[in-house]
Amino acid sequence: MRHDKAIREILAAMQQIIDETAELPDHPTGDDLDKINELLDLYEDIKPQLTDKEKEDLADEIEKLETEKDHIGQTNKTFDEVVADAEEILGKDLTYKDRDDVEDILDRINDLLKDPHLTDEQKEILEDLKDQLEDILDTFDAAAEVEEM
């Protein structure tokens, strides 16, 4: 049987999970990951003491936290891959033959920029890489025009 103090602590923790999950933005970013992990850890700490009904009461919040954590993880993984590929191509001596590779990475960056789970910092990095890649395409286009003359 749980004591009054233990019950109050569990109920306070449950309320914290409910309230702080509701306060998260619709599309949390990596900036919110610490808070999400903190709430999931809190749940894991109290879970052994919860009744089935109390677990059920928190099910929606826990599902949302786990889903958002997965989304952020996938966004971060894709971000890291795209940045690595962009930096690799930007580090090469490029020729017109590399145009398709540049366009491919640019398409991937544009697709990723639509992801609502990106942080502002990640967006800035992608925008900077996008500008650099677009400059390369402009250089290719200018060189092609000169050759046509």
Q: For the chain, where are the alpha helices, taking DSSP H only?
A: 4-23, 33-46, 52-90, 99-112, 120-148
Alpha-carbon distance of 110 to 104, in angstroms, equals 10
Res 4: pLDDT: 80
Residue where the block lists tokens 């677009």: 134
- Looking at per-residue confidence, does 103 or 1 come out higher? 103
Res 68: pLDDT: 96
The 10s digit of each residue's pLDDT in 32-64 is 999 999 999 999 999 999 999 999 999 999 999
Alpha-carbon distance of 20 to 31, in angstroms, equals 15
The 10s digit of each residue's pLDDT in 62-121 is 999 999 999 999 999 999 999 999 999 999 988 888 899 999 999 999 999 999 999 999
Residue where the block lists tokens 């996008």: 130
| Cβ(42)–Cβ(2) below 8 Å | no
- Looking at per-residue confidence, does 143 or 112 come out higher? 112
Res 3: pLDDT: 74
Most confident by average pLDDT, 88-92, 122-126, 145-149: 122-126
- Looking at per-residue confidence, does 61 or 145 come out higher? 61
DSSP-derived secondary structure for 14-41: HHHHHHHHHHS-SS--GGGHHHHHHHHH
